[in-house]
Structure 1
Amino acid sequence: MGSANVASTLVYMAERCTSMRDLKLIHAHAFRTCLHQHTVVLGKLFRFAAVSPFGDLSYAHNMFDQMPHPSTFFYNTLIRAHSHSTTPSLSSLFFNSMRENDVAADEFSFTFLLKSRSFTTPFVHDIHSAVFKFGFCRHLHVQNALIHMYAVGGVILLARRVFEDAIKVGLDVDSVSWSGLLVAHLRAGELDVARKVFDQMPERDVVSWTIMLSGYSRAKRPRETLALFQEMRLVGVWPDEVTMVSVISACAELGDVEMGRMVHRFVEENGFGWMVTLCNALIDMYGKCGCLEEAWHMFDRMKRKSLITWNAMIIVCANHGYADDASSLFAWMIGSGVVPDGVTILSLLVAYAHKGLIDEGIRLFASMQREYGVQPRIEHYGAVVDMLGRSGRLKEAYALLTSMPIPSNDVIWGALLGACKIHSDVAMGERVIKKLLELKPDEGGYYILLRDIYVAAGRTVEANEMRQAMLASGARKNPGCSWVEA
């Protein structure tokens, strides 16, 4: 077989490659037939190693290092690979290397580099200047990447300026351009302005509809989310997985289980039912609507369960006071080889607190780092302090708070002060409020809580002194707080 035929065969095999094992075999054959530097063969192999989900970026680096004079294509492929990786900053390194070696950049170089910059340093302007310098401001893909970079950083003025400049130079801005502008306003928290941009769009694809739906969902405006989804369906735009997650979240936020069931039927009837993220969202929705049986049904029928799946079901059990079920799920999860995270542990602590299983909660907290490698965060300490405080173990809660290896906050100390009120512990209340007034001296609610503790203990003199201290300090009372006794 001639070398041209061998090369054609290797290219054919590389295009259908599905694993690094196969790629290495093809690469080895290319070496044996002296085709390892054949541009097309090497390009197909390199592209798979660098950007395929089944590839190996480190192997692509080794291939790149052996190239005597890599072309623009090979630099672009590495820039693109790192823009999708956990090391997006390396895209800039390869772009700079490309320029130092006099390899010409093209519009793809800038498109991939701008994408990586949106995950690293979107506020620097050197790359924007380079776009002008190299004459790529008339390439729509490059301009769209610039809009997206500024949008992700929430820099609305620059995102809009690029958008307007693209129109001025005669570019026919598309749905990607408009969606970038939409993202910019949403990232800046300008939801209503974003809706005006959305309404002005000449064409709206599933991405733009989903961006707007997600904006409403994140802003906890479920009614607008569901209304927009209905509008989306009326105009015939087909939703995707991300769209449906936002819609299910809106049902959960409203507690509208009937609408949730309708959405569930839509998911099943239209082929979304196998998607783990949607099943997780449905478990959460049924749990928030109080439909535990349906949440369990969703969980049990899932063939693939992610960590989020386990956490969602444990949270459902915890929030409804089923500590035994939460504990059994946790044991099942560990037995299935799933490693818990901070959410898992926090959910269990909440479950134990609801059930009054204080010692079990303390043991879990003490072992979370040693047994599961989960570093306790402020919310874990808060859960344990609340658990101890509610059960009257105020000294233990105080000892935990004062020995924390991370900074405490007013929320966690406020929980302990609330426990002091429940158990009428004046001495501990005085110690706690001293710390609280160091953290938030202007918060009048803490004075009120300590005054209530004094009143409950029959110490009216100290109660009146506390009122005078609050007035003298200029601290503000929270809405609803009153000095008037019932």
Structure 2
Amino acid sequence: MTLYPLKLHILKNPLLSLLQKSKTTSQIHQIHAQLITTNLISDSFAASRLLTSVTSNIVNMLYAELVFNQIHQPNPFICNTMIKGYVQSSEPKRALHFYTEMRRKGLLVDNYTYQFVLKGCGIMMGLVEGREVHGEVVKRGFGSDLFVVNGLIGMYCRCGETGWGRMLFDGFCGKDLVSWNSMLGGYVGCGEMGEAQKLFDEMLEKDVVSWSIMIDGYGKIAEVGRARVLFDSMPMRDLVSWNSMLNGYAKVGEVVAARLLFDSMPVKNVISWSIMIDSYARNGNFIEALNLFRQMLCQGMKPDKVSVVGAILACGQLGALDQGRWIHMYMKKNRISMDIVVQTALVDMYMKCGSLDESCRIFNSMSE
């Protein structure tokens, strides 16, 4: 009887409310320190809330490991949060290693554990590891769990084994729309558009995800006519479907059609702007690329790597050194990540604009 008031007290603790609103590393560090001071870190609920913030808001898995190691009795939710964090931060091998350690230490696993682990196996194309997890799934009695089966279908399809995915799909009686979309996405991801179209036609229920998967698939194989027929047939469209169609036009160099679609979009996000800017830059419309980049900034939209690289490419081709320098400084000021792709674009831009010193400076910093 004493547990309930304690949990209610923890649930209403202002630190947890602050944690929910915290988005930056410094804010989360401060709350973490107070959780340690008040000994709230020893409560599994409070610890899980902290871990969720670390893995979803700042996605710092080294810090997440530090938090995890302070938890004396991690429950399945806490362990799953770690695995999910590794997968979302593109560290699927770490996710698999963590899962292996969970089993070695005798920690409990549940259906969500397998869902995240299987997704990690699919991302790393780890068919051998995925099959081992499949064996564990059957052994532990999760073979008929909807979340797990959907994870297995997705894993096999990501690894190129659509036959195995389809066998699981056909043999499972409890399929939901996610199951259908997983199989559909599997065919599309493997370039099997004929099989994808057959499955799509068989679907009694379709959602916006189903339609977007097909539009994206036809766009990837340059069949934008078929993609547009599907797009125009959609009962409802969301931003993903608009961007899929836009990307289809961009991939085949139909810049005019892409711009018409872009201008007719009811809502745009950074992906929409980036697709259009990149399309202009890749197809020789350099002035249009820079004009659109400026419009994007005027709209208060923070550019991503794709839009920045497109704008830098345009500056290089136009010899617009001042504009290129401004974009470079803008990136530094706004802490936009400068990975190898962005740095290479900057090196190329400065060289084409005749600024060899700046080009060499960036090139030399790349090897440091």
TM-score by length of 1: 0.63
Q: Partners of 1:33 and 1:152 in 2: how far apart? A: 45
- Residues 407-442 of structure 1: CA distance to partner in whole angstroms, max 9, x if unpaired? xxxxxxxxxxxxxxxxxxxxxxxxxxxxxxxxxxxx
- Residues 222-254 of structure 1: CA distance to partner in whole angstroms, max 9, x if unpaired? 21222221112xx2x22224x333322333456
Describe the SS at the equivalent of 1:283: helix
1:333 maps onto 2:327 in alignment:
yes
Maintained 8 Å contact 1:251/1:257: yes
Determine what percentage of the aligned residue pairs are the same residue: 24
Alpha carbons of structure 1 residues 262 and 133: separation in structure 2 relative to 1, 3 Å: same
1:64 maps onto 2:63 in alignment:
no
Maintained 8 Å contact 2:346/2:362: no
Shift of 1:365: 12
Q: Partners of 1:129 and 1:335 in 2: how far apart? A: 53
1:154 maps onto 2:153 in alignment:
no
Maintained 8 Å contact 2:188/2:217: yes
- The corresponding residue for 1:259 is 257
What does residue range 204-215 of structure 1 map to in structure 2 within 5 Å? 204-215=206-217
Maintained 8 Å contact 1:11/1:40: no
What does residue range 197-346 of structure 1 map to in structure 2 within 5 Å? 197-232=199-234, 235=235, 237-241=236-240, 243-252=241-250, 256=254, 259-267=257-265, 270-272=266-268, 275-286=269-280, 294-303=288-297, 304-316=302-314, 323-325=318-320, 327-337=321-331, 339=338, 340-343=342-345, 345=347
Number of residues of Structure 1 aligned to a counterpart in Structure 2: 348
User: Residue type of the partner of 2:242?
Assistant: M
Maintained 8 Å contact 1:310/1:329: no
Higher helix share: 2
Q: Partners of 1:310 and 1:34 in 2: how far apart? A: 45
- The corresponding residue for 2:23 is 18
User: Residue type of the partner of 1:367?
Assistant: C
- Residues 56-110 of structure 1: CA distance to partner in whole angstroms, max 9, x if unpaired? 3323212222233322222222111112123211222222222222222110111
Alpha carbons of structure 1 residues 335 and 78: separation in structure 2 relative to 1, 3 Å: closer
Flag the structure with more relative contact order, 1 or 2, with Cα contacts below 8 A and sequence separation at least 6. 2
Maintained 8 Å contact 1:280/1:308: yes
Describe the SS at the equivalent of 1:310: helix
Alpha carbons of structure 1 residues 3 and 32: separation in structure 2 relative to 1, 3 Å: farther
Aligned Cα root-mean-square deviation (Å): 3.1
Alpha carbons of structure 1 residues 343 and 221: separation in structure 2 relative to 1, 3 Å: farther
Alpha carbons of structure 1 residues 200 and 347: separation in structure 2 relative to 1, 3 Å: farther
Alpha carbons of structure 1 residues 196 and 365: separation in structure 2 relative to 1, 3 Å: farther
More displaced stretch, 130-139 vs 174-183: 174-183
User: Residue type of the partner of 1:221?
Assistant: E
Describe the SS at the equivalent of 2:205: coil
TM-score by length of 2: 0.82
Residue number among 171, 176, 199 corresponding to 1:165 in the alignment: 171
Residue number among 118, 122, 125 corresponding to 2:122 in the alignment: 118
Shift of 1:163: 0.8
What does residue range 337-356 of structure 1 map to in structure 2 within 5 Å? 337=331, 339=338, 340-343=342-345, 345=347
- Residues 289-339 of structure 1: CA distance to partner in whole angstroms, max 9, x if unpaired? 776654443122122333422332344566xxx5423x4443333333454
Long gaps (5+) in structure 1:
376-486
Alpha carbons of structure 1 residues 367 and 4: separation in structure 2 relative to 1, 3 Å: closer
Long gaps (5+) in structure 2:
333-337
Alpha carbons of structure 1 residues 27 and 364: separation in structure 2 relative to 1, 3 Å: closer
